[in-house]
Amino acid sequence: MSIVDTPERRQLRELTRAFVTQEVLPHLDDWERAGEVPRALHATAAKLGLLGVGFPESVGGSGGDLLDSIIVTEEVIRSGGSSGLIAALFTHGIALPHMVAAAGVGIGGSLVGRLGGTSTPGDDDLIQRYVRPTLAGTMIGALAITEPDGGSDVAGIRTTARREGDHYVVNGSKTYITSGHRADFVTTAVCTGFPGSGSVSLLVIDKDSPGFTVGRRLEKLGWHCSDTAELSFVDVRVPVANRIGAEDTGFLAIMQNFAAERLSLATQAYATAQRCVELTVRWCRDRETFGRPLVSRQVVRHRLAEMHTRAEAARAYVHEVAVRVAAGEPVVTEVAMAKNVAVAACDQVVDQALQLHGGFGYMRDAEVERHYRDARILGIGGGATEIMNEIIVKGMGL
Ligand SMILES: Cc1cc2nc3c(=O)[nH]c(=O)nc-3n(C[C@H](O)[C@H](O)[C@H](O)COP(=O)(O)OP(=O)(O)OC[C@H]3O[C@@H](n4cnc5c(N)ncnc54)[C@H](O)[C@@H]3O)c2cc1C
């Protein structure tokens, strides 16, 4: 029995599938048109324990580890959900881990729990004020790193936080922030000294802080049910108590959480590929051209075989790397390879899936059309494919 296929994890799959079937599928098209998912969905997912998967019970989570989070992500998409839904509903997966780690609480098996450092009363306070309500589905959080001048170079951020007594005064702007419109608070990367990786700190900034403006809702190619925002900070006063961990440790915190984020994106990629294989097999059985079902033609059968192989190979490799991350191995290079392998598989599969659906594949009514659009961000967000390649060549000693 595979480590990702235990009886408990099969139950988690069933719970996730039932949630998607009952609470998501009847409404997903409406949310895609509305540009966001409702807050009530967070509360429902929290009640079922799905929102807290991967977070310790001591901070309001449901327990479990990185592999459990992967199971939930995989099953949401394979049940007919989407990577856009994952982005919108599980934004806390990138907004909260730094707070949990800074409070000295390990997130089971993921690298974020091993930041080290000493927990402070302020960090425990952040757990009470932000982590618990978010995992209970009553607050929404976002993570803001990317700026208009660039996202790949995290050390190059220009949003400044100047210390004035018990406060920081924050100035700058962020862009492409997932759930930025709905978020009650934003875990924000700021520069607290001379620009560079050694001066990045993380502050939790409340939405109603004077000087904090959420700009226009950004329109996108895909992820339509996930709201994306520009944020502006003009002399925003943020209490020092809202700093996560020690000053100037933000870069390390961000890098350490990237492992979980990249594996989540890799999971979204292979799960999207798997879902598209399923949809396309079904379509090719039903659709007839020139008097025969598409699936009877060897060229189509081979294409389906290649799509299936790519999706399954990506899944196997991502699982292997996730198991190593969960065991605490420092596999930064392998995480980068897993993301690139899964994204490449997904890109090829969604393209072929749409092609085999013919004109219908280009229609909004076709589920593969949504996956085709949603998939494109996976090779850009959380570190672009080229940034993953940089990490891989370093791992190769080049
Ligand atoms: C839908 C969506 C949601 C997002 N959500 C969030 C969020 O919640 N929080 C957040 O902080 N950010 C978010 N982002 C931002 C995302 O993380 C960045 O877009 C990404 O990191 C790339 O940064 P950039 O867009 O500034 O591209 P740039 O850094 O300007 O890079 C542009 C392109 O150049 C190439 N490139 C860059 N550097 C190199 C290099 N060294 N060598 C070779 N090629 C290179 C890559 O192809 C890259 O895609 C989101 C983006 C999108 C589109």
pTM of the model: 0.96
Interatomic CA distance for residues 232 and 230, integer angstroms: 7
Give mean pLDDT, residues 10-35. Answer: 98
For ligand 1, atom 37, name the residue with the nearest CA.
152
Interatomic CA distance for residues 236 and 169, integer angstroms: 5
Give mean pLDDT, residues 23-47. Answer: 98
pLDDT of residue 120: 62
Q: Helices 66-78 & 250-286, crossing angle to 10 degrees?
A: 30
pLDDT of residue 344: 98
pLDDT of residue 119: 56
Atom of ligand 1 nearest to the CA of 142: 8
Decide: 381 in ligand 1 pocket, CB within 6 A. yes
For ligand 1, atom 7, name the residue with the nearest CA.
177
Interatomic CA distance for residues 287 and 292, integer angstroms: 8
What would the pLDDT profile of 272-321 be if each residue is shown by its tens digit? 999 999 999 999 999 999 999 999 999 999 999 999 999 999 999 999 99
Compute, in angstroms, the gap from residue 151 CA to the centroid of ligand 1. 5
Decide: 376 in ligand 1 pocket, CB within 6 A. no
pLDDT of residue 321: 97
Residues 329-337: contacts with CB within 8 Å, 24+ apart? Answer: 330/111, 331/259, 332/259, 332/391, 332/395, 333/391, 333/392, 333/394, 333/395, 333/396, 335/258, 335/259, 335/262, 335/263, 335/266, 336/262, 336/383, 336/388, 336/389, 336/391, 336/392, 336/395, 337/388, 337/392
What would the pLDDT profile of 117-152 be if each residue is shown by its tens digit? 455 656 899 999 999 999 999 999 999 999 999 899
Which of 186, 380, 394 is the pocket-test mutation for ligand 1 (most atoms within 8 Å of CB)?
Answer: 380
Give mean pLDDT, residues 327-332. Answer: 94
What phi, psi does 392 have (nearest 5°)?
Answer: -65, -45
Decide: 389 in ligand 1 pocket, CB within 6 A. no
What pLDDT band is residue 2 in, cutting at 50, 70 and 90?
confident
pLDDT of residue 367: 98
**Residues assigned a catalytic role:** 261
Decide: 130 in ligand 1 pocket, CB within 6 A. no
Q: How many residues are recorded in the chain? A: 398
Decide: 375 in ligand 1 pocket, CB within 6 A. no
pLDDT at 99 over 70: yes
Give mean pLDDT, residues 366-386. Answer: 98
For ligand 1, atom 17, name the residue with the nearest CA.
381
pLDDT of residue 106: 65
pLDDT of residue 117: 44
What pLDDT band is residue 111 in, cutting at 50, 70 and 90?
very low
